[in-house]
Amino acid sequence: MSGPLPLQYLLGQPGAGVTAGTGQWVQLLGGPLYLVITTTGSGTITAGTLLIEETDNPNDGTGATPSQLSTFDCTTISGGKKNCAHVGPGAYVWIRARVSVAVVGGAITVSLAGGW
C-alpha cells in the first residue's frame, strides 16, 4: 500500500463550480479502500441531483449504464455548505461524478480523496 490518494476534482474547481455535466473517469484500481467525496455548493441551489458512478471498464464498448455508488440532492448544500460522503470499503476500479438533474440557482464542486 502507498500513501493517501491526493485530492482530485471530479467536477468543477474552487471558484468555478458547474451546473451540469459528466466528469472524467478516475482510475482507482489498486488504490484506496476508503473514499471521501466532498460536494460544495455555491449560491441558492433550488434543484439538482448528483450521481457518483462506478464501472470496471469505461471503454468496454457495451454502452451499459454504470453502477451508482450514491445519489445526492444538491439542494442540501445551498449557500456554501459542504457534504462529505464516506464510501467504503471497496475494491474500486473507475469512478466519476455526473449531474443527472441540472443544478439551478447556484453551482457545485465535487472532489475526491481516499486512503487505506
2-41 tens-digit pLDDT: 567 788 999 999 989 999 999 999 988 877 888 899 999 9
Does the pTM of the predicted model rise above 0.85?
A: yes
In the numeric block, the cell 471521501 is attached to 36
Q: Which residues contact 88 (CB under 8 A, 6 or more apart)?
A: 32, 33, 34, 35, 114
Confirm or reject CATH 2.60.120.1110 for domain 5-115, answering yes or no: yes
The pLDDT tens digits for 41-79 are 999 999 999 999 999 888 888 878 899 989 999 999 999
Q: Please state the rounded mean pLDDT for residues 90-108.
A: 93
pLDDT attached to residue 3:
63
pLDDT attached to residue 87:
81
Most confident of the ranges 31-35, 86-90, 109-113: 109-113
pLDDT attached to residue 2:
59
pLDDT attached to residue 109:
96
Count each helix (H run) and each strand (E run) in the chain, helices first: 0, 7
Cell numbers representing residue 11 in the block: 467536477
Cell numbers representing residue 8 in the block: 482530485
pLDDT attached to residue 73:
97
